[in-house]
A and B are shown apart, each in its own frame.
Chain A
Amino acid sequence: MNCLKNDIESIIEKIGNTPDKLIEILIEVQRQSEENYISKDALKIISKELKISLSKAYGVASFYSMLSTKKRGRYVIQICNSAPCYMNGGKQVKKYFEDILGITVGEMTDDGLFSLEFTGCIGTCDKAPAVKINDKVYGNLNKEKVEALVDSIRKEEEVCDFSF
């Protein structure tokens, strides 16, 4: 909790401690968390620092779809389910990810590596169907590309594990 408190305090110091900065702070706190979410403890600290109620902080964190108050995987795969991706086979892309990861949309893999979600249009309609994985966008997807994408992330993570 202390470590978390220090981290959050330094984020707030950088962004500012007025209530209008709440969304920017929440985004940054989530980005720095290993599990891609904003914990209850983090919300408590933020609400105290910004002098707003905890319910207000929770309300905002749960309103915006990019923010999560539940633990997520290190890689959050967001599948676009808006009309342009739908027209170019978005539903199949969802199935490819579900099959290869063994989870359905809304779930997280047991190893905590991947979460699968839907998202609204991500503005990559010329490369539909597309997904967003953390901050990166991948387009023109098909079965092979989905498999290669998941493989490359898994391999990258294995390399990281050896370094410990």
Chain B
Amino acid sequence: MILVSKLCGKISPLSLKDYKENGGFEALEKALFKMKTEQIIDEVRASNLKGRGGAAFPTGLKLQFVASEKSDIKYIICNADEGEPGTFKDKILLDGCPFQIIEGMIISALAVGASYGYIYIRGEYPQTKDLLKKAVNILKEEGFLGKNILGTDLCFDIEVRTGAGAYVCGEETALIESIEGNDGRSRFKPPYTANKGLWGKPTLVNNVETLINIPYIISLGSEEYKKFGTKSSSGTKLLSISGCVANKGVYEIEFGMTIREIINEICGGVETDKEIKFVQLGGSSGAVLPAEMLDIKIDFDELNKLGIGLGSGAMFVGDESICILDFVKTTMEFFKHESCGKCTPCREGNRHINKILNRIIEGKGSNRDLELLVDICELMKDTSLCGLGQSAPTALLTTMKYFEEEYKEHIEGFCRAGICNLKKGAVVYG
């Protein structure tokens, strides 16, 4: 834990005294008393901070979009709806240092001119929600939230809201629908949320980890902050690592480490006596990479070159005991369940993918099925309304690319891992 998570577990999460003794609210004071609002945005832009929720959009640009909107009221939303399977890093930050996230929200509010904020936390974290409510109340009592913050003109208040179990609500427009009390169904874009978001007003939506970076950028200054990480990816990233590694958990790393280094040096290697078969990067919506690709660096540009996203920073490590098709089936069943049903490509695409995968796993598939799968995946990627449908086929497409042989084997009636109800054994091609 090197930068943004360094207070997590070290201080009592609801002790304002602990937080202040460790530099808490120094960034807010600097922003309030020593900086103009444009300077705050410039500093965040110069830091090259990119959104940590999954889309990696430049945070400074987002701040600027909302700041440039003219409106009587603007909102800030902290997206704490981490529903991406295998992602549990925001929970560590929310439980470990809620004040720092809120400080990031207050500084953002000052920068864009927002007067009201929401923390939208997933319903699966009820204890964390209670903790956040307490944290907000403490800050209200101490004059860090509410009217005339620290005696200035800044007025900003926060309300904690909760979801009730819907993956799609991590998508910002679905999240906004949920705060408004509706089903979480994504909206058509444009208008974008920076222009017309919550209740039709300009809204800034940022992930927990993105927000927690902001106090550091302000107090360190962008130059100092950029010393962490690489040229294209400054700062650090929290990775949630699960699967067959010896030490599963959340780790904060500097950008630039390779996947192999992370697995071997941080996670203590593989738990079993088997070899690594694949790593899925970015959670269930991310790419599945074969063992030969483990020397890829965690760096936005390097990953982009390969057409891969870092997503939320979840990493599943799978060993040889896992059947790729059975694994992908689990993933696709998840998306079928979580599709909100509003747009046809996602609703129907996921249903048909599941049908075809089942057929192949039962040994009744054909080569035509493989072509069909690719067609459906491409269609979903191009035409789905929101990120859910666009990224749902990623695991399927990447496994069909890197583990093509296993798909062919299943069509011929073999499962090398011995998981599917087929003949056990690999088929040697060529």
Chain A residues proximal to chain B, CB less than 8 Å: 18-24, 26-27, 59-60, 63-67, 81-84, 86-88, 119-128, 132, 135
CB-CB contacts below 8 Å: B323-353 with A: 327, 330-331, 333-334, 337-338, 340
List residues of chain A with CB within 8 A of the CB of B406.
none
Apart from A121-B86, A125-B240, A126-B249, what are 9 other A-B pairs with CB-CB below 8 Å? Answer: A20-B179, A64-B164, A82-B330, A120-B337, A123-B82, A123-B87, A123-B124, A126-B242, A132-B124
| Distance in Å: Cβ of A75 to nearest Cβ of chain B | 16
Partner of A20, one of B181, B241, B334: B181
Say yes or no for B180: interface residue by CB 8 A criterion.
yes
Say yes or no for B250: interface residue by CB 8 A criterion.
yes
Q: A22-B181, A81-B333 are in contact. Are A86 and B249 (CB under 8 A)?
A: no
Q: Are A64 and B179 in contact (CB under 8 A)?
A: no
Look across to chain B and name the residue whose beta carbon is closest to the beta carbon of A90: B330
| Distance in Å: Cβ of A119 to nearest Cβ of chain B | 7
List residues of chain A with CB within 8 A of the CB of B85.
82-84, 120-121, 125
Partner of B334, one of A63, A87, A120, A127: A120
Say yes or no for B48: interface residue by CB 8 A criterion.
no
List residues of chain A with CB within 8 A of the CB of B91.
123
Q: Are A88 and B243 in contact (CB under 8 A)?
A: yes
- Sample (24) of A-B pairs whose CB atoms are under 8 Å apart: A20-B180, A23-B178, A26-B164, A27-B123, A27-B164, A60-B182, A64-B123, A64-B184, A81-B330, A81-B333, A82-B85, A83-B86, A83-B331, A84-B85, A86-B330, A119-B124, A119-B165, A121-B85, A123-B124, A125-B88, A126-B249, A127-B248, A135-B126, A135-B127
Look across to chain B and name the residue whose beta carbon is closest to the beta carbon of A128: B242
| Distance in Å: Cβ of B360 to nearest Cβ of chain A | 18
Q: How far is the CA of A59 from the CA of B183 in the complex (A)?
A: 7
List residues of chain A with CB within 8 A of the CB of B184.
63-64
List residues of chain A with CB within 8 A of the CB of B167.
120
List residues of chain A with CB within 8 A of the CB of B340.
63
- Tell which of A21, A65, A120, A123 has the most Cβ of chain B within 10 Å: A123
Q: Are A126 and B248 in contact (CB under 8 A)?
A: yes
List residues of chain A with CB within 8 A of the CB of B228.
none
Partner of B242, one of A20, A60, A65, A87: A87
Q: Are A121 and B248 in contact (CB under 8 A)?
A: no
Mark B293-323 against chain A: 1 for CB-CB distance below 8 A, else 0: 0000000000000000000001010100010
Look across to chain A and name the residue whose beta carbon is closest to the beta carbon of B128: A123
Say yes or no for B140: interface residue by CB 8 A criterion.
no
Q: Are B248 and A125 in contact (CB under 8 A)?
A: yes
Partner of B164, one of A67, A81, A86, A126: A67
Partner of A123, one of B88, B179, B316, B331: B88
Look across to chain A and name the residue whose beta carbon is closest to the beta carbon of B84: A121
Q: How far is the CA of A24 from the CA of B86 in the complex (A)?
A: 26
Say yes or no for B125: interface residue by CB 8 A criterion.
yes
The 4 A-B pairs with the shortest beta carbon distances in the complex, nearest first, are A66-B165, A64-B164, A82-B85, A125-B242
Q: Are A24 and B316 in contact (CB under 8 A)?
A: no
List residues of chain B with CB within 8 A of the CB of A27.
123, 162, 164
Q: Are A87 and B327 in contact (CB under 8 A)?
A: yes
| Distance in Å: Cβ of A43 to nearest Cβ of chain B | 14
Q: Are B86 and A122 in contact (CB under 8 A)?
A: no
- Tell which of A59, A64, A87, A126 has the most Cβ of chain B within 10 Å: A87
Q: A27-B123, A64-B123, A83-B330 are in contact. Are A126 and B316 (CB under 8 A)?
A: no
List residues of chain B with CB within 8 A of the CB of A125.
85-88, 240, 242, 248, 314
Q: How far is the CA of A18 from the CA of B244 in the complex (A)?
A: 47
Q: How far is the CA of A26 from the CA of B162 in the complex (A)?
A: 11
Say yes or no for B423: interface residue by CB 8 A criterion.
no
Q: Are B125 and A123 in contact (CB under 8 A)?
A: yes
Q: Are B161 and A24 in contact (CB under 8 A)?
A: yes
Q: How far is the CA of A82 from the CA of B316 in the complex (A)?
A: 11
Q: How far is the CA of A67 from the CA of B166 in the complex (A)?
A: 10
| Distance in Å: Cβ of B173 to nearest Cβ of chain A | 15
List residues of chain B with CB within 8 A of the CB of A18.
181
Q: How far is the CA of A122 from the CA of B280 in the complex (A)?
A: 18
Look across to chain B and name the residue whose beta carbon is closest to the beta carbon of A62: B183
Look across to chain A and name the residue whose beta carbon is closest to the beta carbon of B124: A122
| Distance in Å: Cβ of A35 to nearest Cβ of chain B | 17
List residues of chain A with CB within 8 A of the CB of B365.
none
Q: How far is the CA of A87 from the CA of B278 in the complex (A)?
A: 12
Q: How far is the CA of A60 from the CA of B165 in the complex (A)?
A: 11
List residues of chain B with CB within 8 A of the CB of A19.
180-181
| Distance in Å: Cβ of A112 to nearest Cβ of chain B | 22
Q: Are B87 and A121 in contact (CB under 8 A)?
A: yes
Mark B258-285 against chain A: 1 for CB-CB distance below 8 A, else 0: 0000000000000000000000100010
List residues of chain A with CB within 8 A of the CB of B327.
83, 86-87
Mark B210-229 against chain A: 1 for CB-CB distance below 8 A, else 0: 00000000000000000000
Say yes or no for B98: interface residue by CB 8 A criterion.
no
Look across to chain B and name the residue whose beta carbon is closest to the beta carbon of A120: B167
Q: Are B248 and A128 in contact (CB under 8 A)?
A: yes
Partner of B338, one of A59, A83, A120, A127: A120
Q: Are A63 and B242 in contact (CB under 8 A)?
A: no
Q: Are B164 and A23 in contact (CB under 8 A)?
A: yes
